[in-house]
Structure 1
Amino acid sequence: MKELILKYKTVIKFILTFLLVYAVLTFSYKLYLQYGSSETYYPDYMTNLVARQSKELLETLGYDAQVIPHPKEASMKLIINNKFVARVIEGCNSVSVIILFASFIVAFAGKFKTTFFYLLAGSVLIYIANLVRVVILSVGLYHYPWRKDILHPVIFPAIIYGMVCLLWLFWVNRFSNPTKSHE
Structure 2
Amino acid sequence: MQLTLASTSVYRKEILSKLHIPFATVKPDVDETPLPDEGAADLVERLAIAKARAVAEQVKQGWVIGSDQVATFDGHILGKPHSEENAVKQLTACSGKTVTFLTGLCLYNADTHHYMSLVEPFQVNFRALTPSQIRRYVQIEQPLNCAGSFKSEGLGIALFRSLNGRDPNSLIGLPTIALIELFTQAGIDVFDYMQVNS
Give the TM-score of the pair, scaled to structure 1: 0.34
> Larger C-alpha radius of gyration, 1 or 2?
1
Greater length-normalized contact order (CA 8 Å, ≥ 6 residues apart): 2
1 or 2, which has the higher helix percentage? Answer: 1
Which structure shows the bigger proportion of residues in strand conformation? Answer: 2
**TM-score if structure 2 supplies the norm length?**
0.32
